[in-house]
């Protein structure tokens, strides 16, 4: 049975050497970062909440934009 990664690696082997090196570098960075789940700090949680709570446009403005694009 092949996995997704096996399929990607098979295709990767057809890439130019410089591009294969890019892929290897990215994979090494992922490996170095570990496999633990990242836990947000309280300040990061606050920033995420603030971003989710802020609205660039009101619901009415969004609906007007949708209506305008459907005509």
Which residues span the domain enclosing 62? 4-70
- In this predicted structure, the answer to whether residue 55 has a pLDDT above a threshold of 90 is no
- In this predicted structure, the answer to whether residue 60 has a pLDDT above a threshold of 70 is yes
Give the alpha-carbon dihedral of 11, 16, 17, 23, to 10 degrees. -50
The pLDDT assigned to 58 comes to: 81
The pTM for the full model equals: 0.49
Number of domains in the chain: 1
Sign of CA dihedral 22, 28, 32, 34: positive
State the Cα–Cα distance between residues 1 and 23, nearest whole angstrom: 23
């Amino acid at each position: 049975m092949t996995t997704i990664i096996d399929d990607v690696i098979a295709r990767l082997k057809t890439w130019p050497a410089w591009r294969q090196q890019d892929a290897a570098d990215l994979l090494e960075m992922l490996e170095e970062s570990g496999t633990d789940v990242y836990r947000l700090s309280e300040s990061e949680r606050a920033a995420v909440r603030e971003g989710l709570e802020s609205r660039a446009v009101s619901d009415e403005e969004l609906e007007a934009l949708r209506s305008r694009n459907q005509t």
